[in-house]
Structure 1
Amino acid sequence: MRRTLTAAAVPAGLLAVGLLATGCQQSGKADPKGANRVSVTLTDDGCRPSPAKVGAGPVTFTITNKDSAKVREAELLRNGVIVGEKENLTPGLSGTFSLNLKAGKYQMYCPNAKTEKTDFTVTGTAADSTQDPAVRKALSAATTGYHDYVVSEVDLLLPATKKFTDAVRAGDVAKAKTLYAAARYHYETIEPVAESFGDLDPDVDARANDVTDPKSWTGFHRIEKALWQDRSLAGMATVANKLDADLLRLKALVAKQKYQPAQLANGATELLNEVASSKITGEEDRYSHTDLTDFEANVTGGRKAFDLLKPALDKTDPALASKVDEAYDGVFAALKPHAGTYSGTTFVDYSTVGEAQRRTLTQKVDALAEPLSQVAAKVTG
C-alpha cells in the first residue's frame, strides 16, 4: 500500500491486510466454511458493499474494479483503523480478502472516489468455532509467534538504520550508500504491518511519485535520491533525524499489536504483492537499484508468516501447505543467482538484470501467488 501524504490517510491502527495484487489479480478462490460473502465494486462514485450488513464470524470480501481509473483499492475500516484491504486493482481486475469479524460499525473506504466511505455493519455473535482444537492451538501459537517476529525485526531495524542515518548526518555519501540496503531490509520484512499505521509508512517509505508536495517528502527514498542522484547529503540531516524518530514510533506501535490467523496469511500475500508491483518492476529503489534486497526481504517476511501457519495448514489442507512450501522454494532459488553474497543485504545492481531473468523471477512469483492466496480462507475459522 502506497499512500500520498494527505489528510485522507487513515489513523494508526491494526495490521492492514490484503490479498494478492500480482499480474493475474485472481485470488482467494476458497471461502472459509460458512463464511458470509460480500461483494464490493469499485467505481469513480464509490464502493458500496453488498450486502451492507452481515452476521459476526468469517467474512469473505470480493473486490472488483469495474472500470475505474481513479479508484484502485478498497479498505475495511473500524474506528478509522484498517482491518482489511485489497489494492492495486486496475480496471477489470478483482481480488478477495477474508477476516473473522466481530459485531460493530465498520466502513468500506475507497480512496479517490466521489464518496470515499460507505457504512458496513456486523451484527450478532459468531457461532462457536468448529475447528479441531489442535488446529486452534496451532493458530494461536502462529499469531503469538508472528507478534514476536515483528517485534524482533523492528529491534534489528532500529540499529541498522541508526548506522545509516549516522553516516547521513556525517555527510559521508560513500558510507551511507553501503549501509542503505541493510537499513531497509528489516523494514521490508514487515511492510504490511508498518503500512497499517496511517501516515507512518508514507513518512518512512514513500517514493517520489507518492508525494503530493515534494517539500514534505521524507524517509528512506528521499535520502536514496540524495545519495545516488543528487550526490549530496545537504539538508538530509533533518530527514535522517525524522526517520529515526518514525522508526521509534513503529517500535512502540508493534509492541501492542495482536493478530488473527487470516492477517498472517493476508500479510504474506501482501508482501508478495509488493514484490510484483514494485520490486520486479524496478520502481522501488529507482536510484540505488537495490531492489533485489527488498525483494528478498519481502519474500522472507511472507515465508515467516506462512511457516507459522503451516502446522495448522498441515492439518486442514496438507496438499495446499506443500504446494505453497514448494513455490516459496522456487522463488528463493530464482533469486539466488543474483546474490552477491546472498547475505540478505547484498545483491547485484538490479539494472544489470536482463528481461529474461526478470521474466523468470515473475514466473516464480506468479507460481506462488495462486496457492498462497488460498491460505487466508483456510485459516479463518
Structure 2
Amino acid sequence: MSDAPNRSIYWAVAAAACLAAAGGGAFWYASVKNAEATRGQKADRVVTITATACEPMEMTVPGGRRTFEIVNASDRPIEWEILDGVMVLAERENIAPGFRATLVAQLQPGEYQMACGLLSNPRGVLKVTPSDEAASAASEVTLRKFLGPLSEYRVYLVMQGNAAASTAQALRDAVAAGDLAAAQAAWEAARLPYRRIEPLANRLSDLANAINPQAAYLAERESDPGFTGYHRIEYGLFAQNTTEGLLPHADRLLSDLEALKARMREAKLDPQLLLSLPAQMTAQLAQSQVPAGENSYAGNDLDDFAASVEGIGKLAGLLRTVVAPVDAGLDADLGAALDKVQGDLAALKQGDGYPPYADVTREQRAALAADLTALAGVLDRLPAVIGVN
C-alpha cells in the first residue's frame, strides 16, 4: 500500500504549524508596534480580564483623554470595550492570553459599561466624572466646517447599507437554492459593503454582535448559539462545504442588515464621531485583524481589508477637505500614509485578485500592520488641528 496519504497528512500538519507560527509572529510584531506607539503614556487605570469578568468590575475616572491598560489573564483571546448603551465608544480586540494592550479614549462625563472578554461575560461599570479637560474638549468642536463632510458621509452610509442588504439577499437566495459555489461567491461579495461601513457599524454593539461575531469570543465557539451572522455562514460554506442548515442564519443576517441600514439612516453624526471613526478602525485592523486574520474559514481576508481601507479612505478624504486649509503639512502626511497602505495592498495582488490569506507571509502581514499603525497615528493628529476653532 502507498504511503502517499500518510505523507499528505504529515505535510498538512507541518503547513498548519508553519501558519500558526507565522500568525503568532505577526501578532507579536503588531503588539510590539502598538507598545512602541503608546510607550510613555502612563495608564490612568489597569483592567485585568479573567475568564469570567473584569478586575475591577467598577471603576471611576475623570473625563477627558484617558489611557487604559488591558491585561489578558484568561486562556482565550479577548476584547475590551467601553459602551454607551449599544454604542461602542472605544475597543481593543484580539488581545492574546498573557498579553497586555493599551486603549486611549476621549470620554465625556457619564456612566458607561465595560465588555469583559467573552460576549457572555457580565459587563462592568465605568463612571466618568466631570473635569475641566472634558469641558474643554466638549467646547472645541464646532459644526459649521463639518456640515459638508457629515452630509456626504451620511449619503455614503445609506448607499453602502443598501448594498449590504442587497448582497445579503443574493447570498440568502443562493443558500436557499442549495448552490454551494454560488453561495460561496455571494458570501465573499456580501462582506465588502459591510466592511466599508464597519467603522460606524462596529459602534452599534447589539447589531455588530449579531452580524459579525467571531467564534473565538464565544464560550462554545462554533457550537455557541450566539455564533450568528457572516462568520457562521462562512463556517458552513467554507469549513463544512455545505449550504445545509444555513437558511435560518442567512435570513437572520438579512434581517439584521436591514435593521442596520435603518439605524445608519437615523444615526447621530457629529464632528467628534467623524474624527474618531477612521483612526479607531485603522488601529483595529493594524492591531488585531491583519496579524491574526479575520475570515478563518474562507481565507479571503485581503479582499475584506481592501474594502475596509476604502471605507477609511472615504472618511479620510472628507476630513482632508477640512484640514487642508488649516494644516497643509498634516494633509500631505495623511495622503502619503493612506497611499502607503493602499500600495501595500496593491502589491499583494496576484493578477486581478488577492491570494488566500494563508499565503501572505509573516513579513508581509507585519509590513501592512506597521503602515496601518502609521496611518492611525496620522489620523490621531486630526482632532487637535481641526477639532478646534
Structure of greater Rg: 2
Residue 69 of structure 1 is aligned with which of 67, 70, 73? 73
Contact preservation (8 Å) 1:48, 1:108: no
Q: Which residue of 1 aligns with 2:244?
A: 234
Aligned pairs (5 A) from 1:188-199: 188-199=195-206
Residue 282 of structure 2 is aligned with which of 238, 249, 272? 272
Question: For each residue in 1:178-217, what CA deviation from the matched residue of structure 2 results, as whole angstroms up to 9, or x when unmatched?
Answer: 2222110010111132222232112111122122342422
Say if 1:155 and 1:240 are closer, same or farther in 2 by CA, change over 3 A.
same
Q: Which residue of 2 aligns with 1:24?
A: 33
CA distance in 2, matches of 1:250, 1:24: 34
CA distance in 1, matches of 2:123, 2:163: 41
Residue 47 of structure 2 is aligned with which of 36, 42, 47? 42
Offset of residue 234 of structure 1: 0.9
Aligned pairs (5 A) from 1:220-369: 220-339=230-349, 346-369=353-376
- Of stretches 226-235 and 360-369 in structure 1, the one that deviates more from structure 2 is 360-369
Say if 1:149 and 1:224 are closer, same or farther in 2 by CA, change over 3 A.
same
Question: For each residue in 1:293-323, what CA deviation from the matched residue of structure 2 results, as whole angstroms up to 9, or x when unmatched?
Answer: 1111111111111111112222333322211
Contact preservation (8 Å) 1:41, 1:49: no
Question: For each residue in 1:310-350, what CA deviation from the matched residue of structure 2 results, as whole angstroms up to 9, or x when unmatched?
Answer: 122223333222112101101111111333565xxx42222
Structure 1 length normalisation: TM-score? 0.77
CA distance in 2, matches of 1:50, 1:352: 45
Letter aligned with residue 201 of structure 1: A
Letter aligned with residue 166 of structure 1: D
Say if 1:164 and 1:22 are closer, same or farther in 2 by CA, change over 3 A.
farther
Contact preservation (8 Å) 1:64, 1:95: yes
Q: Which residue of 2 aligns with 1:176?
A: 183
Letter aligned with residue 266 of structure 2: K
Question: For each residue in 1:103-136, what CA deviation from the matched residue of structure 2 results, as whole angstroms up to 9, or x when unmatched?
Answer: x6332525259981032244899579577x8xx5
- Cα RMSD of the aligned pairs, angstroms, is 3.2
CA distance in 2, matches of 1:276, 1:340: 22
Letter aligned with residue 256 of structure 2: D
Q: Which residue of 1 aligns with 2:14?
A: none
Offset of residue 219 of structure 1: 1.1
Say if 1:273 and 1:181 are closer, same or farther in 2 by CA, change over 3 A.
farther
Q: Given the alignment of the two structures, is residue 98 of structure 1 paired with residue 90 of structure 2, yes or no?
A: no
Say if 1:348 and 1:215 are closer, same or farther in 2 by CA, change over 3 A.
same
Say if 1:263 and 1:160 are closer, same or farther in 2 by CA, change over 3 A.
same
Equivalent position SS for 1:259: coil
Contact preservation (8 Å) 1:98, 1:376: no
Offset of residue 148 of structure 1: 1.9
Letter aligned with residue 56 of structure 2: D
Structure 1: gaps (5+ residues): 1-20, 30-36
Contact preservation (8 Å) 1:41, 1:48: no
Say if 1:41 and 1:260 are closer, same or farther in 2 by CA, change over 3 A.
farther
Say if 1:325 and 1:117 are closer, same or farther in 2 by CA, change over 3 A.
same
More helix per residue: 2
Contact preservation (8 Å) 1:181, 1:290: yes
Say if 1:41 and 1:379 are closer, same or farther in 2 by CA, change over 3 A.
farther
CA distance in 1, matches of 2:325, 2:88: 27
Offset of residue 177 of structure 1: 1.5
CA distance in 2, matches of 1:206, 1:73: 14
Letter aligned with residue 291 of structure 1: D
Say if 1:309 and 1:162 are closer, same or farther in 2 by CA, change over 3 A.
same
Residue 116 of structure 1 is aligned with which of 105, 116, 124? 124
Letter aligned with residue 24 of structure 1: K
> Structure with the greater relative contact order (CA < 8 A, sep ≥ 6): 1 or 2?
1
Letter aligned with residue 45 of structure 1: P
Q: Which residue of 1 aligns with 2:216?
A: 209
Say if 1:83 and 1:207 are closer, same or farther in 2 by CA, change over 3 A.
closer
CA distance in 2, matches of 1:28, 1:321: 23
Letter aligned with residue 64 of structure 1: E
Offset of residue 270 of structure 1: 2.4
Structure 2: gaps (5+ residues): 1-29, 49-54
CA distance in 1, matches of 2:364, 2:154: 35
Identity of matched residues, %: 25
CA distance in 1, matches of 2:245, 2:88: 37
Equivalent position SS for 1:75: strand
Say if 1:325 and 1:28 are closer, same or farther in 2 by CA, change over 3 A.
farther
